[in-house]
């Protein structure tokens, strides 16, 4: 299972003491760097009102990255359908796909992209969370508008993001490729895939079940350095475990002395065991295991590290060792 492509999820972390503008500036070098490393695609996530993650609209980042790179696929991972008018998303991504043929993806998700109720309501113009029926209607409308209203030429490739069987069922019903959020809810991954594959219905978008698995991956030359770089995100996760959504993204030095409770340490260790953090050999072995276990057609790596050099270095190490492992893997 080592002959599948590697891609990246840009999470745009904003470290304590830095500016969101600095993180935004780094997205250009990040896209160019990953294109040079041979990554298949980069997706940009929609987030709002977070001290730890930049609130950068995916459609804007896709447009900018497409103008500063030449071949790598680019897309949303995802735009959150309840926050937008379906026709607007269809027009935006349809236009991008016409300008950058065969390079644009439209990854669609459901969540509000924020833990702040006031922000969520502002995004929805005062409305509450979308119901299952409303979300299904939004996704179906986006697909319909792409075909019937936009139709400027080559269409963006639509994907549905999912972390639950409900999302998997919708992707299967609509015949869409699925992006599974293993980096968020790893305990749900196998149930999501079983639901998706067992109910999949071919469509104009996809003739067979197609799976992208998103995994948190932090790689360095030593285990200790990888753990150090992954430390800041652990602080943010610990805050979420306590219901605290406004936890800043600390520096690695600050994270190293953070007073985690024993319960938090156990929860974080359990989560890490299902991701890929460590030396190149350990990370590639773990990614290969996940690919084999899930039958994924593609792996997307989320590396929540602020420093641009450290982040690109992690992707570079993984790409190098993944290619080496692919070259030496036995053929069947």
Q: What angle do CA 124, 188, 238 make, to 5 degrees?
A: 70
Token pair for 186? 């790893």
pTM of the shown model:
0.95
Please tell me what DSSP assigns to residue 208: S
How confident is the model at residue 330, as a pLDDT? 67
Q: What is the pLDDT of residues 167-180, one digit of tens each?
A: 999 999 999 999 99
**pLDDT tens digit string along 32-42?**
999 999 999 99
CA distance 22 to 54: 10
Please tell me the total number of residues recorded for the chain in this structure. Answer: 332
Q: Is the pLDDT of residue 181 over 60?
A: yes
pLDDT tens readout for residues 86-102: 999 999 999 999 999 99
- Report residue 272 CA to chain centroid gap: 17
Tell the burial category of 253 from Cβ atoms under 10 Å away from its Cβ (0-12, 13-18, 19+): exposed
Measure the CA–CA gap between 229 and 244, rounded to whole angstroms: 22
Give the pLDDT of residue 305. Answer: 94
Residue 54 has pLDDT above 90, yes or no: no
Best CA proximity match to 188, nearest among 168, 212, 159, 160 = 168
Domains and CATH numbers, the chain: 6-328 (3.20.20.30)
**Average pLDDT score over residue span 213-220:** 98
- Collapse the DSSP code of 50 into the 3-class scheme (helix H, G, I; strand E, B; otherwise coil) and give the result: coil
Query: What CA–CA distance (Å, rounded) separates 244 from 115?
Result: 9
Mean pLDDT, the chain, integer: 94
> Tens digits of per-residue pLDDT, 221-267?
999 999 999 999 999 999 988 878 788 999 999 999 999 999 999 99
pLDDT at 279: 98
Q: How confident is the model at residue 331 (pLDDT cuts 50, 70, 90)?
A: low
């Amino acid at each position: 299972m080592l002959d599948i492509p590697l891609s990246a999820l840009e999470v745009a972390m904003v470290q304590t003491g830095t500016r969101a503008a600095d993180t935004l500036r780094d997205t250009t070098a990040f896209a160019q760097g990953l294109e040079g490393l041979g990554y298949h695609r980069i997706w940009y996530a929609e987030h709002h009102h977070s001290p730890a993650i930049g609130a950068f609209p995916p459609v804007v980042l896709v447009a900018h990255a497409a103008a500063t790179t030449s071949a790598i696929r680019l897309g949303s991972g995802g735009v959150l359908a309840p926050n937008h008018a379906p026709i607007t998303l269809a027009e935006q991504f349809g236009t991008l796909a016409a300008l950058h043929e065969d390079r644009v993806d439209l990854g669609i998700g459901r969540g509000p992209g924020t833990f702040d109720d006031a922000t969520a309501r502002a995004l929805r113009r005062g409305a509450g969370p979308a119901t299952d029926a409303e979300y299904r209607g939004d996704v179906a409308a986006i697909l319909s508008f792409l075909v019937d209203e936009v139709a400027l030429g080559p269409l963006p490739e639509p994907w549905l993001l999912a972390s639950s069987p409900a999302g998997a069922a919708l992707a299967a019903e609509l015949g869409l490729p699925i992006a599974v959020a293993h980096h968020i809810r790893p305990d749900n991954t196998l149930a999501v895939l079983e639901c998706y594959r067992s109910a999949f219905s071919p469509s104009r978008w996809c003739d067979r079940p197609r799976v992208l698995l998103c995994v948190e991956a932090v790689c360095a030359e030593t285990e200790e350095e990888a753990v150090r770089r992954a430390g800041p995100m652990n602080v943010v996760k610990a805050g979420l475990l306590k219901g605290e959504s406004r936890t800043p993204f600390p520096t690695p030095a600050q994270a190293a002395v953070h007073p985690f409770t024993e319960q938090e340490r156990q929860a974080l260790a359990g989560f890490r065991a299902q991701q890929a953090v460590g030396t190149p050999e350990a990370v590639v072995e773990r990614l290969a295991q996940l690919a084999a276990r899930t039958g994924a057609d593609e792996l997307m790596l989320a590396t929540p590290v602020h420093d641009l050099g450290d982040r690109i270095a992690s992707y570079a190490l993984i790409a190098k060792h993944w290619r080496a492992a692919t070259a030496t893997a036995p053929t069947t």
